[in-house]
Structure 1
Amino acid sequence: MKIQEIREIIKLVDGSSINEFTYEAEGTKIKLKKNVGVSAESSAAAPVQSAAAAPQAPAAPAAPAAPEAPAKEEKAADQAAETGSSDANTHQILSPMVGTFYQSPSPEEPAYVQVGTKVTADQVVCIVEAMKLFNEIEAEVDGEIAEILVKDGQLVEYGQPLFLVKTN
């Protein structure tokens, strides 16, 4: 299953009233759970934790994750403004899942990309590891890596900006 297909499933589940979704095919299993309630009153109830966030629950509760996402996007937008990039020609590569960010396929190999690297839409720029699965993240656009927004080995959230790409 390609990362684009996983992203599409995440978007569909996120935009629907479904709170839990499981997909199994050809040895691949994807399980998604949402924290979002139907109304403001129900969002105050105990949140449902995703399978990826469950082991980390004591250190990072699932409930604050949703409010932090816009703040991280604003921070990335501020960083883009500081670098002199305009939104018209800058694209953010976002994390499609919660996991650990890795710049290279293994510790002894060089990073997929550096600042200044020219990339194509289907080029792998990093890996996000979630539940012992290593998911290759593609650039999504043609351009040049303007900034790497996270450090190697850092935990990332769903929707967190990973890279800024200056498009042509």
Structure 2
Amino acid sequence: MLKVQEIREIIKLIDQSNIDEFSYESDGAKVKMKKHQGQVVTTPVQQGQPVQAEQPEPQSAPAAPAREQQVKETPEPKEEQQGSLDYDKEITSPMVGTYYASPSPDQEAYVKQGDQVKEESVVCIVEAMKLFNEIEAEVSGEIVEILVEDGELVEYGQPLFRVKSK
């Protein structure tokens, strides 16, 4: 069965390689990864099934900066998206899991709309396989929009927050 850390390592290896698409199937469970505009996009085809795999051999290629995997550049906001929100970055989910806005149900959310964040600021938690992963902003600026609800399932690469950087 693949662990979260092993999946992360596979994503990094695929991202650093010349491979555009990766598929793995074992015991009826499938994992499929595709690069989309220089980023690795992971699509779980069948969830809840244990998947066993050996890590692929790394291929020599220039490494992409890790920050590009989580923070997407957005050149101009689209006018049709809730008026004229002014943002230039999106904080995206680095994994498939459940989004939590606060460290526990009885505590306040890490961030609210209008809050200022720094690169190392924790903005939320994504739970994957009973592991609670603190997600850092990795960009400095103001949270202009929160795109997901507490307890919502999120996908790898799904935008969570829109940020107007400093």
Normalised to the residue count of structure 1, the TM-score between the two structures is 0.58
Distance in 2 (CA, whole Å) between partners of 1:12 and 1:80 is: 37
* Equivalent runs, 1:15-164 vs 2, <5 Å: 16=17, 17=19, 19=23, 34-36=31-33, 49=44, 54-55=47-48, 78=78, 81-85=81-85, 90-164=88-162
What's the CA shift for 1:100?
0.2
Distance in 1 (CA, whole Å) between partners of 2:163 and 2:82 is: 14
What's the CA shift for 1:116?
0.4
Distance in 1 (CA, whole Å) between partners of 2:141 and 2:80 is: 15
Task: Note if contact 1:101-1:128 (Cα within 8 Å) is conserved in structure 2.
Answer: yes
More strand by share: 2
Q: 1:122 to 1:15 in 2, by over 3 A?
A: same
Task: Note if contact 2:23-2:31 (Cα within 8 Å) is conserved in structure 1.
Answer: yes
Q: 1:49 to 1:84 in 2, by over 3 A?
A: closer
More helix by share: 1
Q: 1:9 to 1:85 in 2, by over 3 A?
A: farther
Task: Note if contact 2:78-2:84 (Cα within 8 Å) is conserved in structure 1.
Answer: no
One-letter identity of the residue aligned with 2:48? P
Q: 1:167 to 1:36 in 2, by over 3 A?
A: closer
One-letter identity of the residue aligned with 1:55? G
One-letter identity of the residue aligned with 1:35? K
Q: Could you tell me the percent identity over the aligned residues? A: 56
Runs of 4 or more consecutive aligned structure 1 residues displaced over 4 Å after TM superposition: 6-9, 77-81
Task: Note if contact 1:7-1:96 (Cα within 8 Å) is conserved in structure 2.
Answer: no
What's the CA shift for 1:90?
1.5
Q: 1:8 to 1:80 in 2, by over 3 A?
A: farther
Give the corresponding residue for 1:61: none
What's the CA shift for 1:119?
0.2
Normalised to the residue count of structure 2, the TM-score between the two structures is 0.59
SS of aligned partner of 1:35: strand
Over the aligned positions, Cα root-mean-square deviation in angstroms equals 3.2
1:77-132 per-position Cα deviation (integer Å, ceiling 9, x unaligned)? 6488534245xx51100001100000001111110000000000010000000000
One-letter identity of the residue aligned with 2:82? E
